[in-house]
């Protein structure tokens, strides 16, 4: 399943249909129309931060008459902004590392070890796939509280890892199975331990799937809102989506400032996407092809 999604990325496909010039024009018009629908809000947001509130009202469509960079200076000079971005980064990196560390060995066990109850335990984990994050949010909140993790980053990281496990283990197990069983057998005969096989054979041969899982996990963590909203209380611990909402309620109608703040917070995501779009698209679509 993963393969066919990956193949979408290089531009290989069926032959371009030969369209008549008229149809080709209609096609382009449609594409530009939809591209406008997608891009105009983003451009309006980025430009809006460079206008005054007055100009936002009087000149909604045009470029700013005077490019006002003061909002950017104001936003970027706030330590809170940097702290939130750093919090998000920290939470995301820890979530990714822990997910890999926990899911990969489990996937290895399900892919290459035979043991009693294997299928049952695997199905138990996979149950998490059809599992809405939201339905468990209240009991999860209580669990995090009882463990004393409320208002800590671990209170966000651990549940995120747990919720990502089903998909990660499934994706990894399917990939690990592509490593021939004979290779594992041969290593066993040569006296290698399972840990050694896992570390020196399986993992090096499975780097693509590891990076796919890492990308999915990172993006989900970076954008997560509901869980930190429920778990974290003090603004010092906020990741950026919470900080953004707080900023919005603070400056409720100072739209240029809010738009600047939005721009600053989404630019890392947009930049990362432009740099690594091939991998990000492949990773995120592979993540959807779960079953």
Partner 1 sequence: MAVATRRLAFTVSRRTHRGWRTALIFAAPALILFTLFIALPVFEAAGASFYNWNGLRAPSADNFIGLKNYAQLMAHGTFQRALFNTGLIILSALLIQLPLALAIAQLLGGKQWGTITFRMIFFLPFILAEVAAGLIWRFMFDGDVGLVSAVVQAFGGEPFHILSDKNLAIVTILVVATWKYFGFHMMLYIAGMQAIDKSLYEAAAIDGANSWQQFFHVTLPGLASTIRLSVFFSVLGCLQFFDLVVPLTGGGPLNMSHTIVSYLYYFGITRMRIGYGDAVGVTLFIVCVLVAFNYKRWIMKND
* Residue closer to partner 1 (CB basis): 78 or 285: 285
Residue 184 contacts residue 201 (beta carbons within 8 Å): yes
Closest CB 193 distance from partner 1, rounded Å = 9
- Going by C-alpha positions, the residue among 122, 125, 98 that lies closest to residue 112 is 122
Closest CB 77 distance from partner 1, rounded Å = 21
- Going by C-alpha positions, the residue among 153, 162, 140, 165 that lies closest to residue 89 is 153
* Residue closer to partner 1 (CB basis): 53 or 207: 53
Does residue 289 come out as left (phi exceeding 0), alpha (psi in the -120 to 50 range) or beta?
Answer: beta
Closest CB 86 distance from partner 1, rounded Å = 16
Closest CB 167 distance from partner 1, rounded Å = 11
Closest CB 152 distance from partner 1, rounded Å = 14
Residue with token string 């974290």: 232
Closest CB 236 distance from partner 1, rounded Å = 19
Query: How many whole angstroms separate alpha carbon 158 and alpha carbon 41?
Result: 35
Closest CB 133 distance from partner 1, rounded Å = 7
* Residue closer to partner 1 (CB basis): 15 or 66: 15
* Residue closer to partner 1 (CB basis): 66 or 114: 114
- Six token digits for residue 250: 């603070």
* Residue closer to partner 1 (CB basis): 41 or 204: 41
Closest CB 280 distance from partner 1, rounded Å = 7
Q: How many CA atoms lie within 13 A of 11 on its CB side?
A: 2
């Amino acid at each position: 399943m993963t393969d066919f999604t990956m193949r979408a990325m290089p531009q290989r496909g069926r032959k371009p249909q030969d369209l008549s010039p008229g149809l080709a024009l209609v096609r382009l018009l449609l594409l530009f129309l939809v591209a406008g629908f997608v891009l105009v809000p983003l451009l309006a947001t980025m430009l809006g931060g460079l206008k005054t509130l007055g100009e936002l009202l009087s000149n909604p469509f045009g470029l700013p008459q005077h490019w006002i960079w003061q909002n950017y200076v104001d936003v970027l000079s706030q330590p809170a902004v940097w702290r939130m971005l750093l919090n998000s980064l920290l939470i995301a990196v820890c979530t990714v590392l822990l997910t890999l560390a926990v899911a990969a060995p489990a996937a290895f066990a399900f892919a290459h070890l035979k043991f009693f109850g294997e299928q049952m335990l695997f199905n138990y984990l996979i149950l998490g796939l059809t599992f809405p994050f939201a339905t468990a949010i209240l009991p999860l909140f209580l669990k995090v509280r009882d463990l004393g993790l409320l208002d800590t980053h671990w209170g966000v990281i651990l549940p995120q890892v747990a919720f990502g496990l089903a998909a990660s283990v499934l994706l990894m197990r399917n990939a690990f199975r592509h490593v021939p069983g004979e290779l594992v057998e041969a290593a066993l005969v040569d006296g290698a331990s399972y840990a050694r096989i896992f570390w020196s054979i399986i993992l090096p041969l499975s780097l693509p799937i590891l990076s796919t899982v890492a990308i999915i996990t990172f993006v989900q963590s970076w954008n997560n809102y509901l869980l930190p909203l429920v778990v974290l209380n003090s603004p010092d611990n906020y990741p950026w989506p919470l900080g953004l909402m707080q900023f919005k309620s603070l400056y409720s109608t100072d739209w240029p400032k809010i738009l600047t703040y939005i721009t600053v917070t989404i630019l890392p995501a947009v930049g990362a996407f432009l740099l690594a779009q091939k991998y990000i698209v492949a990773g995120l679509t592979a993540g959807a092809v779960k079953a």
